[in-house]
Amino acid sequence: MSTDKININVQSEIGELEAVIIHTPGPEVENMTPENAARALYSDILNLSVALPEYNEFKAILEKVAKVFDVKDLLTDILNIDKVKDSLISRICRHEPVVDACSLLSNMNNQELARQLLEGVEMQKNTLTKYLDDERFSLHPLPNFFFTRDAAFTMNNEVMISHMASKVREREALIMEAIFDHHPSFITQTVNPVKSFDNSGKASIEGGDVIIAREDIFLSGISGRTSSQGIDALLQHLKTKPGTKHLILQELPYQPESFIHLDMVFTFLDKDKCMIFEPLILHSSRHLTIHIIIEDNKVVQIREEKDMLDALKKLGMDLEPVLCGGSKDIFIMEREQWQSGANFFAIAPGKVIGYGRNTYTMNELNHHGFEIFKAKDVLKNKVKLDDYAKYVITIEGDELSRGGGGARCMTMPIRRKAVDW
């Protein structure tokens, strides 16, 4: 177990990355069938033997620039603490009441327990009812967990624990909460805004929707995964913080599923640049942009804005948009947005990672001054990154992108350097 302690702090989307949590996809991804993929929130099934080399390339790039933690390792570490192990099993079994699986969990060694909490616990076919049951697992696998962004997200020096929109992902949030509450490597406070502030029973909030523009400016989607009630719960928490804070909200369509979170249509690239899906962010007349201003312990204003870029400009963040899929063909824009073409992850201002398959988006970035490098060339030291002020490292994503997310989705930053705005 690591003894290095990290003061968790993320005050922007672009500050130089110092530490990040990821989850390397494993057998849980292949524990899906065409029949249960929809329940697992997938529209397709992934081939792990193809996806894993793509992911490992991505992971190796992150390891070149930051301290990288893996969920499975962190989970195994905290399970060595008996009280934490017992508490986590108890919480999971309350959320997923499968008695036979719960008794099995308590008797597993910690490494095996960590594995099965992620990959699923196979049903013991020891009764007629279970024998006739088409289900393979008593405790379902977590094939979405490599999208580590969603179950918890860092806001300044706190970690927000998400309330997932779908029950099949609740265990991810429970695991992340246990990690941040008990792993000795992290100094932080966890906040579960829905648990603390919501009385409606309708609240959900996921990290893919929440973007930290600046330490006092937060963006969020209002989506199929993050409800208005979930935003209200976050709002209540922000009211407990001193000073003026801004919450800029963007309504997202529920269909198609590529609009699942705000970071699928908007991500930061640099101090003065962002990636957008233009038809929604700048030209939608049906989806509201709402600006909430909080001063100390109260909401002082809620107003509609023209669009997100206009709202940010009024707050001193004048961003030049780079267009996902380019500017010439709406069909190309839609195709590349579907392939997570707007979903970039910044490792420093002007230095980002994204899928290389979105060639029109890459050309657009190049026209805006970004050099384009393949991850494999960076890893072979064919490129000296320090020689360039702005660049995109492109990862292979032909299989990974079929899971419905990109580089930002697959990361949970826990420490970034402050940005000199």
1 falls within a domain: no
- The residue with tokens 């017992």 is 86
pLDDT (0 to 100) of residue 45: 67
Residue 194 lies in a domain: yes
Bridge partners, 302 (sequence order):
292
Evaluate whether residue 147 is within a structural domain. yes
CATH number at residue 75: 3.75.10.10
| Mean per-residue pLDDT pooled into runs of 10, the chain (421 residues) | 80 98 93 55 71 96 98 97 95 81 86 95 87 85 94 97 94 98 97 96 97 97 96 97 96 86 97 97 92 95 97 98 95 95 98 97 98 97 95 94 91 97 86
* 3-state per-residue secondary structure call for 21-71: EECCCCHHHCCCCCCCCCCCCCCCCCCHHHHHHHHHHHHHHHHHHCEEEEH
Angle of helix 82-95 versus helix 99-106 axis, rounded to 10 = 170
Give pLDDT, residue 34.
Answer: 56
d(CA 383, CA 61): 12
Q: Please check whether residue 412 lies inside any domain of the structure.
A: yes
Domain that holds residue 188: 6-416
- Residue 234 three-state SS: helix
- Distance CA(403)–CA(149), nearest Å, equals 14
Burial profile 312-343: b = 16 or more Cβ within 10 angstroms, e = fewer: beeeebebebbbbbbeeeeebbbbbbbbbbbb
- φ, ψ of residue 96 to 5 degrees: the values are -130, 80
Q: Helices (DSSP H) in 123-227: which residue ranges? A: 128-132, 170-182, 193-197
Number of domains in the chain: 1
* Domain presence at residue 380: yes
- What CA–CA distance (Å, rounded) separates 344 from 35? 31
Question: Other CB atoms closer than 10 Å to residue 196's CB: what's the count?
Answer: 12
Terminal-to-terminal C-alpha distance of the chain: 37
In-domain check, residue 421: no
Domain assignment present for 371:
yes
Q: How confident is the model at residue 3, as a pLDDT?
A: 54
Q: In sequence order, what are the residues at sequence separation of 6 or more whose Cβ sits closer than 8 angstroms to the Cβ of residue 94? A: none
Give the predicted TM-score (pTM) of the model: 0.94
| Domain contains 367 | yes
